[in-house]
Chain A
Amino acid sequence: MTATTAETYEAKRGSATRPRYGSMSRDRQWALRWSYFFLVLFAIFFLTPPIYMIITSLKSSAEISAATSPWWVYHPTLSNYKELLGSSQYLIYFRNSAMVSICVVTVTMLISIPAAFALARMRFWGSTALATGVFLTYLVPDSLLFIPLFKMFAVFNEWTGIQLLNKWYCLLLVYPTLTVPFCTWILIGYFASIPKELDEAALMDGANYRQILLRVFIPVALPGLIAATIFAFTVSWAQFLYPLALTTSADQLVLPVGIITSLIKGDVFNWGQIMTGALLGALPPLVIYAFLMDYYIAGLTAGATKG
C-alpha cells in the first residue's frame, strides 16, 4: 500500500515537473531549428554565385553557350586557367593589384595607427569632433568623389606637369580616402578599450608616447590591427569605380577593371575566362581571411566592450 502511494506520488511529481524541463528544451530545439533554417538559407544565397563561377570556369566556351544544364560540367577543362595564367596581361593586372593593395595597407596603417592613438588617448582641443569627422568622411560615397578627384589630378598635372592620371600609383593617393577613416575608427574603439592604467603605468615606467604606442598599444591591440589590415586589403583589392575612372592603359589596370576591359570585347563576353579571372582574383583575400579569421572576429568584437 505504502509502495503504491509512493509510486503514485513519484508519478504525480514527475508529471508535474517534466513539462517545465520539456518546454525549456522544446524552446531550445525550436530556436536551433530556426537558426539552422536561416543559416542554410544564407549559405545557399551566398555560396551560389561562387559555385556557379567554379562550374563555369571549368567549361569550354562551346559548352557554356550550349543548351545544357548550367549547374553541371559535362566536359571539364582547365583551358580557361591555362590561357589566363599564360597571358602576360592577366599577370600584369594581378601584379598591379598586389602592389596597390600592399602599398595602401602600409600607408593606411602608418596613418591610422598614430591617428587613432592620438584621438583615443591624447586629449586635445577638438579631438572628439575630429574623431567624428574622420568617420563622417567615410560616409561620402565614392561614386560622388571620383569626378572631383579626377579633376584634381588633372589640375595637379596642369600646375606641376606631373602625370598621375592613368598611372596605377595614383590609386595609392585615392584608396586611403576610403581605408584611413574606417581603419582609424576601428582602432580608436580598440585603443579606447585598453585600460587607461596601462599607459599610465608605462608613463611611470619612463616611456614616452612613441614608446607607449610601439611597445604597449600595438602588441596589446594586435587583433584590432589585423582586423584593420584585412579591411584595408579587401577594400583595395576589390575597388572597382576609382580604377575604372582613373586608369585606362592596359598596363596600368588593376584586376577587377582589367578582367572586365580585356575579357569583354564589344558585346562578346568571354564568360569562362571572366569567371576564372574573378575566382583567381578572389584567392588572395580568401587566403588572408583563412589565416587571420580568429584574429579578425576577435578584433571586431573586442573593441566593442570593455575588458
Chain B
Amino acid sequence: MAQVSLRKVVKRYESIQVVHGIDLDIADSEFVVLVGPSGCGKSTTLRMIAGLEEISDGEISVDGDVVNDVPPKDRDMAMVFQNYALYPHMTVYENMSFGLRLKKFPKEEIKRRVAEAARILDIEDLLERKPRQLSGGQRQRVAMGRAIVRNPKVFLFDEPLSNLDAKLRVQMRTEIKRVHQKVKTTTVYVTHDQVEAMTLADRVVVMNKGIIEQIGAPNFLYHSPATRFVAGFIGSPAMNFIPCKLEAAGDGLTMRLDKVSFAIPAERVARYKAFAGKDLTFGIRPEHLTDAHPNGTKNVAQFDAAIEVVEPMGHETMVFFTVNGAEVCARVDPNSGAKTGSPLKMAIQLDHMHLIDNSSGKVL
C-alpha cells in the first residue's frame, strides 16, 4: 500500500502535448478513478504512473520517493489491462504466478498466494486451464488474480471492463469493489464510463483535454460540478443545459428562459448578483425537472411543456421537449399521463439548479 503523488506531470509526443501539467495526490488505500472521454489523457496518465510511458516534465512519487526514472518492474505496481493481456501459452496458475516466479519466491509461498487469490476471485477450478479456454469474465478475473498475488503497492486498472458485456460488467464492478475492500491496496482505475467511476471510486478525477477538470467524491461531483464539462459528463441521462438570461428584479433576481421566467431562490441571490444582465446557461438534471404536483414544495418553478417524445422505463418515464432551442429531458411519474404532442405541467426544483458562465464554462 502506498501514497502516490503527481506534480505538474506533462506528457508530450514530439510537438503534441497530451497531458498538461496535472497535480494529483492519492492517499494510502484510496480507490481513485480517472474518468473522461477518449483522448483526454487518462490512460496516458495511468501509464506514466506505471512507468510504461516516460514523463516529459514534472514528477511522480510513491511514498515520497520520486519514481520518474524507475523502470516499471521496480515500481512494485500491478496493472490490469483492457484486453486482459494473459500469456496465451501459460495456464491460469502459471499466468498468476509468473511475477512471483520471476522474483524467485519459494514454491510453497507462490502456491499459497495463488490459492488465496483464486479463492478471493472464485477461480479455483480454472487454475489448470489455458486462457483460450476461458470466457471474457473469467479472463478478467485471472488478470486481476495476477495483480493480487503480487501484493503490490499500487493496483492500476486500464479500462478493465470495456470488453465485457453489460451484465458481466456490472457483476465485475461489484467484484472489483469487493476485492478492494478486502485487500485495501491503493488503486488507480481508468474508465470512460461515468457509472463505473461513480460506483467504484472513493474519489473521481474528471479529465478533459489533458487537464483535470475536477477532483472529488462521486456525490460531491454529482451535486456540485465545478465546470459545465463535469456537469454534463457525470450523470445519466446527462444534465440539461438551457440558454438563459439573468435579470435583476428589485432585491432579487429572475432567470428568463425564452417566454417563461422564474425567481431565483433568495439564498442564491448573493451568489449570482454579480452576473445580473448576462447571458448564462441554466443547468438542471432530469430528476430535478419533474411533473408538477399540486402541493409543490418551496423553490419550485412551474411551467407548461409541449411533450415531443415519451420513453416509458417502467419505474419512471422520460419525457423530452424543447425549451429556448435546447432539447430537455425530464423524469416524470409513470402515472403523470405524459403523452406525445400534449402539454404537461412541469416543475423545476430550483434548489438543484446550476448557472454556468458561457465564456469560462465554470459553474457559478
Chain A interface residue count: which class? 10 to 19
Instruction: Tell yes or no: B278 within 8 A of A by CB.
Output: no
Complex Cα–Cα for A208 and B71 (A)? 10
The residue of chain B having its C-beta at the shortest distance from the C-beta of A222 within the complex is B89
Q: A204-B50, A206-B99, A206-B102 known; A197 and B85 CB under 8 Å?
A: yes
**Of the candidates B73, B85, B86, B87, which one forms a contact with A206 in the assembled complex, judged by CB atoms under 8 Å apart?**
B73
In the assembled complex, A200 has its CB within 8 A of some CB on chain B: yes
Q: Are A195 and B73 in contact (CB under 8 A)?
A: no
B83 interface neighbour in A197, A215, A222, Cβ under 8 Å: A197
Q: How far is the CA of A215 from the CA of B146 in the complex (A)?
A: 16
Assess whether A216 is interfacial by the CB under 8 Å rule.
yes
Whether A204 lies near B73 (C-beta < 8 A) is: yes
Centre residue among A198, A204, A211, A216 by max chain B CB count within 10 A: A204
Taken together as a complex, chains A and B put the C-alpha atoms of A215 and B95 apart, in Å, by 11
Number of A-B contacts (CB under 8 A): 58
**Which residue from chain A places its CB closest to the CB of B79 in the assembled complex?**
A204
With A206-B102, A207-B73, A207-B102 already in contact, the answer to whether A201 and B79 are too (CB < 8 A) is yes
A205 B88 Cβ-Cβ under 8 A: no
* Separation of A195 and B131 alpha carbons in the complex (Å): 15
List residues of chain B with CB within 8 A of the CB of A19.
Answer: none
- Per the 8 Å Cβ criterion, residues 196-241 of A in contact with B are 197-198, 200-208, 211, 215-216, 219-220, 222
Cα distance, A288 to B102, chains bound together (Å) = 35
Q: Nearest Cβ in chain B — how far from A225, in angstroms?
A: 13
Answer whether residue B72 sits at the interface, using C-beta atoms and an 8 A cutoff.
yes
B147's nearest neighbour on chain A, judged by CB, is: A204
Interface SS majority for chain A: helix
Contact of A195 among B83, B89, B146 (CB under 8 A): B83
Shortest distance between the CB of B12 and any CB in chain A (Å): 16
A166 to B50, CA, bound (A): 57
Chain A nearest CB from B154 CB (Å) reads: 11
A200 touches B73 (CB 8 A): no
Whether A219 touches B89, Cβ cut-off 8 Å, given contacts A203-B72, A204-B78, A208-B73, is yes
Q: Which residues of A contact B320 (CB under 8 A)?
A: none
Interface centre among B82, B85, B86, B146, by most chain A C-beta atoms within 10 angstroms, is: B85
Cβ of B229 within 8 Å of any chain A Cβ, yes or no, is: no
B residues neighboring A (CB under 8 Å) = 50-52, 71-73, 77-79, 81-83, 85-89, 98-99, 102-103, 146, 150, 156
**Interface of A with B (CB < 8 Å)?**
195, 197-198, 200-208, 211, 215-216, 219-220, 222
Q: A201-B146, A203-B52, A208-B73 are in contact. List 8 more A-B contacts (CB 8 A).
A: A195-B85, A197-B83, A197-B85, A198-B85, A200-B52, A200-B81, A201-B79, A205-B99
